[in-house]
Amino acid sequence: MAVGIQKIGIIGAGQMGTGIARVCALAGLDVVLADVSEDRLKAAIDLVDVSLQRRVADGDLPESERKSAVARIHSTIDFAGFAACDLVLEAATENEAVKRGIFERLCPALKPEALIGTNTSSISITRLASATDRPEKFIGIHFMNPVPRMQLVELIRGIATEEATFETAKAFIDRLGKTSTVSEDFPAFIVNRILLPMINEAIYTLYEGVGNVEAIDTAMRLGANHPMGPLQLADFIGLDTCLSVMQVLHEGLADSKYRPCPLLVKYVEAGWLGRKTHRGFYDYRGGSPVPTR
């Protein structure tokens, strides 16, 4: 039987975890946000507050709702803080070993009936579930970035996921006012199975000299009516995340068409990961982004 989610734990106070915390708090859920340092947690909650203050200033959120939402977000650096949570959602870096380590440490802190979700954008739900003591209560809940603006959430069952777990996750997404779509447990699921190879192909187009950064992004914005160019989008996602997803696709499907572009690998090796490091296919250190190639 599906159960209602009233209190949610979120592991990872980065861009995704902070966005998920924001939408959950606005939907009336109590939120426990975890990360490795108090400073990162304070910065995340401050970011939520500032973003909601902008909505108040724009007139589309009452001040009372802003205050209530921020007050619902609590922080912890200890998984023991998740003891009362109905669902804990992992939103850590896109690295399978890191995620498996988190789940192994998380499970002893949870009540027996608690569900576990992962916001992975590409990794096998079945494999990740095997690192827990409750694979039947484990499910992929993949939010899109940026979470407050993007309407879609992918739900992905592992081989052991029970129907009640799926129904509870679906009801949770409905409560957030978002739309869920269901993907089978294949590498990168639906959105990234289609999106990341397109971005990778754009990087190959740059690598092979077919066009420069500005030409490629302008061509796809104006020629395909995309809201942002693929290289701009890659910088927004994070080039390390793009590379991780392409590696999962290449290894999981064993098809050469998913081979990560060597230029993407080189940028990641250089530490040019996009917006979060202020350099990627664009340099963000000045007043406006400047193409790096």
**Could you give the residue numbers annotated as active site?**
121, 142, 154, 192
Looking only at the bridges linking them, the beta strands covering 282-283 and 290-291 are antiparallel
Q: Which residues contact 230 (CB under 8 A, 6 or more apart)?
A: 198, 199, 202, 203, 216, 217, 220
Rounded Cα–Cα distance for residues 148 and 138 (Å)? 24
What is the C-alpha R_g of the chain? Answer: 19
Rounded Cα–Cα distance for residues 129 and 158 (Å)? 7
Rounded Cα–Cα distance for residues 89 and 82 (Å)? 11
**Token pair of 229 as six digits:** 């160019």
Rounded Cα–Cα distance for residues 200 and 244 (Å)? 12
Query: Which residue, 114, 150, 153, is CA-closest to 132?
Result: 114
CB atoms within 10 A of CB 97: 8
Burial class (CB in 10 A: 0-12, 13-18, 19+), 238: buried
Contact 36, 98 (CB under 8 A): no
Q: Which residues contact 243 (CB under 8 A, 6 or more apart)?
A: 260, 264, 265, 268
